[in-house]
Amino acid sequence: MARTVLIVEDDRNIADLLHLYLEKEGYATAIAADGGNAVEMFRKLQPDLVLLDVMLPVMDGWGVLRTIRQDSNTPVIMLTARGELGDKVAGLKMGADDYITKPFEMKEVLARMEAVLRRGGSESENGASKRLVFDKLVIDLEAFELIVDGKKVDTPPKEMELLFHLASSPNRVYTRNQLLDEVWGFDYYGDSRTVDVHVKRLREKLEGVSEQWTLKTVWGVGYKFEVLQG
């Protein structure tokens, strides 16, 4: 059965181009031309992936993403002409899975889509436990819940995946490029700031909670989830 992609784009030429290319590659597609319609179609179709423009009538892309993330972890790739770092960081913080700046090559869009979908498929097919427990910390990737000192802390999906990945191999040091490849599933062309932003946000949630573990920077190398031996 073909995977369904919801294309949210008010520029008809771009929407039609994406539609034709993805249909040719075997995807089923639907197009929403404004944010309000996008939310309605998302709830009706339950697509496998969303390609989401930022500048939209009725409701902008940030609003659509926020609404989707209220009850769904469906992969969302932002498509936008706004390439500033601030916009990219905002999207990643809110739970976007990837971010592509216009103008883009269709092969790049397809590659990033496949990477996101492949990662999601491997997670669901893997029978390994998706719940990690440490002192005053529970990382439940199945339910996408982070419980810190007994309290549930709202955490975007990508932050959850990054923390789970680090904590799954305590004391192992990962370079930024390794984390980009293994957590994001596609090379961000060396943009290590993506990892730094997510680690910074996680530290704000985890700093000083326990003396038995810490999210540690290994200077000149990368990051690790350090667990102190008792």
Contacts of 129 (CB under 8 A, 6+ apart): none
Q: What is the distance between the alpha carbons of residues 100 and 116, in angstroms, rounded to a whole number?
A: 13
Q: How many separate domains does the chain show?
A: 2
Among residues 96, 125, 154, the one where a domain terminates is 125
pLDDT at 150 over 80: yes
Average pLDDT over residues 185-213: 82
Q: Which structural domain range is residue 185 located in? A: 131-227
pLDDT at 162 over 60: yes
At 87-139, the pLDDT tens digits run 667 777 778 888 888 888 888 898 888 878 876 654 444 445 678 889 899 99
- 47 and 119 together in one domain: yes
Average pLDDT over residues 64-69: 92
pLDDT at 153 over 60: yes
At 70-82, the pLDDT tens digits run 888 889 999 887 6
Is the separation of the CB atoms in 199 and 142 below 8 Å? no
Q: What is the distance between the alpha carbons of residues 62 and 87, in angstroms, rounded to a whole number?
A: 10
- 144 and 110 together in one domain: no
Residue of 103, 120, 89 whose CA lies nearest to 197:
89
pLDDT at 190 over 60: no
Predicted pLDDT of residue 193: 81
**CATH code, domain with 139:** 1.10.10.10
- 150 and 47 together in one domain: no
Average pLDDT over residues 16-25: 93
**CATH code, domain with 119:** 3.40.50.2300
Predicted pLDDT of residue 97: 84
Average pLDDT over residues 37-58: 93
- 101 and 153 together in one domain: no
Residue of 135, 153, 136 whose CA lies nearest to 144:
153
Q: Read off the pLDDT band of 64 (50, 70, 90).
A: very high
Mean pLDDT of the chain: 85
- 18 and 53 together in one domain: yes
